[in-house]
Structure 1
Amino acid sequence: MSRSPLVALFPEASFGAALNCVGIAQKLRQMGATPVFICHSGFTGVFAEYGFKEYHLPPPERRSSDAIEDYWQGFITTHLPHFDLDPMAQLPTYVAPTWQAIVDTVVAAEDGLTALLDRIRPDAILLDNVIMFPAVANAGCPWVRVVSCAETEIPDPNVPPYLSGLSPDDTAGRERFEKAYLTHTRAAQKRYNDFRKAHGLSALPAGLFLESSPTLNLLLAPSAARYERADPLPKDRFVYLEGCVREETRFDAPFMPVDHAPLVYMSFGSLGSIDTDLIGRMIDVFATLPVRFLVNVGGFLEAYSRVPDNVYLGSWFPQPSVVAESDLFIHHGGNNSFCEALYYGVPSLVMPYCWDGHDNAQRTDALGFGRRFDRSAWSPDELRSAIIALLDDAAMRQRLAEIARGMQAEPGTERAARAVMDALEAGRPMA
């Protein structure tokens, strides 16, 4: 292109997707593009902090930004008990209501997003979400799908069902889960397909809410964790990334009395921090170990009145920089955390509670990247033993170091940005 291409990045309203896109945008900017972000009002300032222009989706009529944020916090709080259920039991209790809420979000955003895209007039749109917004498909420019959930999001006979937490060889479990998934998502998907058709898009097959891009699809699936697909994805439209780790500010760990002890970082993502009771139980266990702990508690710092000397709480951490300095990462299995742990060769203790966390927890356990651990059904002794065992596993650390060297030799952010620039220069089809 003869001018700097304007690339609009539109991540879903979660920090995992948002910060993956920051990493890609950083490299796009270095390659001469002009990245801008479209974001929900609750993410105001997140992208500006990294030097990117933000365009904010207007809240739906009669609903303020604060009301929308309160709605989602209330939604998650209501569903906290369901996070203790297995993936099959979560289908009617959590997954189906969540898909309904996601469809609500798409419907409410459509008019404002259409107007915003008409105003921005980007040369390309990067959509990091689990659902298609008709305004994106109808914007008149190429759109790129970013798959920042687990690779299971794109179906294949050899890949376990999305959100199932199953192993690839569990054929009986697969059949049961797929049947139940279609049953429980049918109502939301029908409503969504009706909305698509009303905006000029074709209906999607049962169970799907997002099609592949005809231009480019980016999968945050490190080679060490990839599945052997029965139907390989076309290389001209599907690009695998070795994670997507952004450039972040340096982090210096605060002083704690056990200053030379191992460092453990814990974060349960933008949803998991709401479960202050669980995190409080874990902090009580942390107090009994000769280990330093950094704990991301989101916006709930005031919920913790007694903090032991070897534990430091924060509302936000520059996660890649922290993980790089850590000896163990305790997380919920979000794909961002899963990939960052591998990128820096750090063992994981994965405590999944929903969505693709189940899939990444299974992969962590099966491939020796760490250990899957039940979210709440554990005793203090069991949690202590799991942490100590992972900190002491030298063989696991050596294997992870080899994986990290391979991933760092081919950064996913750079490969993603290059693929986007190549697609723009080649003038690939828009739809």
Structure 2
Amino acid sequence: MSPAERALRPLTVLFAPESAYGPTNNCVGIGDVLRRRGHRVVFAAETSWKGRLAPLGFEEELVDLAPPPAQPQDAGQFWKDFVRDTAPEFRKPTIEQLDTWIKPVWEELISGARYCEPRLKEIIDQVRPDVIVEDNVVCFPALTTAGVPFVRIVSCNPLEMKGEHVPPPFSGYPTGDRSGWEEFRAAYDRTHRSLWSDFNAWVTEQGARPLPDLEFIHEGDLNLYVYPEAADYTDARPLGPAWHRLDSSVRETRERFAPPPGPAGGGALIYFSLGSLGSADLDLMRRVIASLARTPHRYIVSKGPLHEEIELPPNMWGEEFLPQPRILPLVDLVITHGGNNTTTEALHFGKPMILLPLFWDQHDNAQRMAELGYGVRLDPYRFTDAQLHGAIDRLLGDTALRRALTEVGETIRARNGLHEAADLIERAATG
């Protein structure tokens, strides 16, 4: 069978996303394009996502990452609880978070990978995929030893692909000042070397190839990462031919959204979200909302999992979940935690940002947007009203920035990252 003939046959594509909204929504967007092309799309989804993917036209194969809880959980509930309980760590400098937050996250991810390995092998035997697509940061050996092409998606900041001439991931350090880079890298090595060594030994015991030094996941036969060219680091850290950038990966949501009759007042319309995980820090949500209430603007607020405990003032409207891709084109400014999905989606629609980073790659995204002039980075726990309100006024009043971001957004949208990803996955499976 020729490559052209193979390209015409329906494929079975198995997606294995991390149990969080960002990676899952990314895979949903790409998977929907493949599904509409006639391919069979199956999700190996963590059990709390039961019933959420099938209505979108996908098959669900559920995976437990730990012994099942006594009561059913909401989608991604484990990580929401984890963030809520460890939120005090976010107040520390990033180098101090390495031992007290970054390492515990890796430990939880590794524990999940070890626990679900037998179940993933069962799913692969049952589904018999033509290609496997993982959007996660940790290796699941079953996904790489199935004898079919393995596609890795990086939906975090691309500093995840390390390089000598770019800042270390998780640091939030500037690209133009290398003074702290080596200290941070040494601290990462010191805090993570033993954990990586033990995990690498287990990965090879499962029949997978050894992991690269201090990396918790392999490269794939095909590697996709989501970040606009306008913000990328490729001038300082070129990537090999197996790597392909998607300028964005904004799902084509079916959800409708019309601006509510409120919120009251005039001024600009601003979107505020700390993501499904960051919004679990209730004290922080209330602090930001109280400060924004003292401005003349109107706000749409993504309230998150603790929505019932968040009261909004008259100049705000919000709900637990909001169709973010429908809202961003309508607003003038985005206030975000700096998660990769929201950061790249804001650029996709040409919107300036105020970034309040909490953990993981959010510090890197906040720093990158600030140093490129696309946004303002503020400390979420130490900003003053004057700083937040001043950033809002400056970004809203910067007409040159708004014109530049409009052009950036037009370029990103024209490149159609979702369809490019689907093309590349088809090619990997049939080439």
TM-score computed with the length of structure 1 as normaliser: 0.93
Match among 114, 118, 123 for residue 116 of structure 1: 123
Query: Structure 2 CA distance, aligned partners of 1:7 and 1:173?
Result: 42
Which of 393, 402, 409 is matched with 1:388 structurally? Answer: 393
1:70 Cα deviation after fit? 6.2
70, 76, 89: which is aligned to 1:82?
89
Secondary structure, counterpart of 1:184 in structure 2: helix
Q: Between 186-195 and 239-248, report the one with greater CA deviation.
A: 186-195
Deviations 1:307-351 (A, max 9, x none): 211111211011111111111111111110110000000011110
The CA distance in 1 between the partners of 2:70 and 2:150, in whole Å, is: 29
Give the C-alpha shift of residue 211 in structure 1.
1.5
- The aligned counterpart of 1:148 is 155
Q: Which structure 1 residue ranges, 5 or more long, are not aligned?
A: 427-431
Q: 2:414 maps to which residue?
A: 409
Q: Partner of 2:351 in structure 1?
A: 346
Question: Could you say if the C-alpha distance between residues 97 and 59 of structure 1 is closer, same or farther in structure 2, counting changes exceeding 3 Å?
Answer: closer
Structure 2 counterpart of 1:293, one-letter code: Y
Q: What does residue 292 of structure 2 align with? A: 286
In the alignment, which residue of structure 1 is the partner of 2:308?
302
Report deviation, 1:109. 1.1
Report what 1:418 is aligned to.
423
Is the Cα contact below 8 Å between 1:42 and 1:65 reproduced in 2?
no
Deviations 1:22-41 (A, max 9, x none): 11112212333222211101
1:260 to partner: Cα distance: 5.5
* Gapped regions of structure 2 (runs ≥ 5): 1-5
Corresponding position of 1:207: 214
2:356 is aligned with what amino acid? M
* SS, match of residue 187 in structure 1: helix
Aligned to 1:25: 31
Q: Given the two structures, how large is their TM-score scaled by the length of structure 2?
A: 0.93
Distance in structure 2 (CA, Å) of the matches to 1:333 and 1:59: 26
For residues 51 and 307 of structure 1, what CA distance do their matches in structure 2 show? Answer: 35
Q: CA deviation at 1:202?
A: 3.0
Q: Is the 8 A contact 1:186 1:206 kept in 2?
A: no
RMSD between superposed Cα atoms in Å? 1.9
Structure 1 residue 254: deviation in Å? 0.8
Deviation at 1:243, TM superposition (A): 1.2
Change (3 A) 1:274 1:44: same
Shift in Å, 1:65: 6.6
Paired residue total: 423
Instruction: Give the match's secondary structure for 2:218.
Output: coil
User: 2:263·2:317 contact (CA, 8 Å) conserved in 1?
Assistant: no
Write out per-residue CA displacement over residues 84-124 of structure 1, whole angstroms, 9 at most, x where no aligned residue.
12211111110111111111111111111111111111111
Where in structure 2 are the equivalents of 1:163-242 lying within 5 Å?
163-213=170-220, 215-229=221-235, 232-235=238-241, 237-242=242-247
CA distance in 1, matches of 2:68, 2:415: 47
The percent identity for this pair of structures is 36
Q: Secondary structure at the match of 2:180?
A: helix
Match of 1:253 in 2: 259
Question: Secondary structure of 2:175's partner?
Answer: coil
Q: Structure 1 counterpart of 2:306, which letter?
A: F
Matched residue, 2:327: 322
Q: Which amino acid aligns with 1:353?
A: L
Pick closer, same or farther for the CA change 1:92–1:315 going to 2, 3 Å. Answer: same
SS of residue in 2 equivalent to 1:160: coil
Contact 1:159 1:229 in 2 (8 A): no
Letter in 2 for 1:307: L
Contact in 1 for aligned 2:264/2:316 (Cα 8 Å): no
* In structure 1, distance between residues paired with 2:20 and 2:64: 17
Deviation at 1:230, TM superposition (A): 5.1
Change over 3 Å in CA distance of 1:171–1:66 after alignment to 2: same
**Farther off after superposition, 288-297 or 257-266:** 257-266
One-letter amino acid of the counterpart of residue 26, structure 2: N
